[in-house]
Amino acid sequence: MPTMSFTDLTKHYGPVKALDGFTVDIASGRITAFLGANGSGKTTSMRLLLGLSEPTSGSATIDGRAYRDLAEPTRVVGAVLDQGFHPNRNARNHLRIAAAQANVSASRIPVVLELVGLTEAADRRVGGYSLGMRQRLALASALIGDPTILVLDEPFNGLDPEGITTLRNFLRHFADSGGTVFLSSHLLAEVAHSADDAVIIDHGRLVASSPVATLVAGTSTAVITTPDVDVLTAALQARGGTVTRTGPDQVTVTGLDRDVIGRTAAGAGVVILDMRGDGDDLETIFAALINDKERPS
């Protein structure tokens, strides 16, 4: 059984049809990127999944059940959709409240603070946090119940390159340990080498659902922008790739699939700012799919 299922999901807001028969299954133990333009229905789908809104018709289920029917939902699903932080409350106290609401021991608080790298800032007021720090606190809140599923809306937003690498490595470890990650993102270059699968939605309807490697399978050459050129070059050459430096922070790689490149970069702690292929990069494919006028209406 899929970890999450959206089945013929429809949602109307007055005359506006936010979702129109959206149907897709999300596999367990993988990172699935949920892609779509603004207003495509991503956040609406996530809100319906988490019981924050009611569908007009259809269903969204987790392990075959609606979120409201889960006995201990915060121990199953950790979610980041909205950042509702009191600016005068410090991170530790925010997590105390989250732990109490989830009926979780306060001993979990230092664990999640360490996981997201906020231990040293735990007693600072959240109002003084950067956007990236607030993103990390939101993730800590999602992890408080030690869930097996993470549902994250734009988790990379506001993170610097180091923060992106840290989050990418964390999510990879989470999925490789049997967890399931369902995240929305506008950073398609990051998705191209972080996610296992991609679900693309447009105007409330499913456009594509596929492993990322399958979507970009036509690309044999990758052009990569990174501040860690030398480290990445050595790591990819060790995997048998041919690497040519084409600029101070850019290399061209042949002989390796992009999922291999992404995993190798993650393992070497390398930040990839952009990765493109011979016209078949994920951004190009995404644009082509959502602008396909021959798609059924």
Rounded distance between C-alpha atoms, residue 10 and residue 21, angstroms: 5
Domain boundaries along the sequence of the chain: 4-214, 217-280
Which helix (H) or strand (E) is 256 found in, with range? none
Local structure of residue 126 (DSSP, 8 states): G
In the predicted structure, residue 138 carries a pLDDT above the cut 70: yes
pLDDT digits (tens, 9 = 90+) for 163-183: 888 888 899 999 999 999 999
Q: What is the mean pLDDT of residues 27-44?
A: 92
The full length of the chain comes to 297
**DSSP codes joined into one string, 117-164:** T-STTTTSBGGG--HHHHHHHHHHHHHTT--SEEEEESTTTT--HHHH
Task: Give residue-wise pLDDT tens across range 249-264.
Answer: 999 888 787 778 988 9
Token code pair at residue 77: 């699903």
pTM: 0.77
CATH architecture of 4-214: 3-Layer(aba) Sandwich (3.40)
3-state secondary structure of 156: coil
Beta strand ranges found along the chain (DSSP E): 4-13, 16-26, 31-35, 57-62, 77-80, 149-153, 180-184, 197-202, 205-211, 221-225, 242-247, 250-254, 274-276
What topology is assigned to 217-280 in CATH?
Alpha-Beta Plaits (3.30.70)
pLDDT at 218 over 70: no
Task: Report the mean per-residue pLDDT for the chain.
Answer: 88
CA distance 51 to 69: 10
Condensed to tens digits (0 to 9), the pLDDT of residues 54-86 reads 999 999 999 999 999 999 999 999 998 876 788
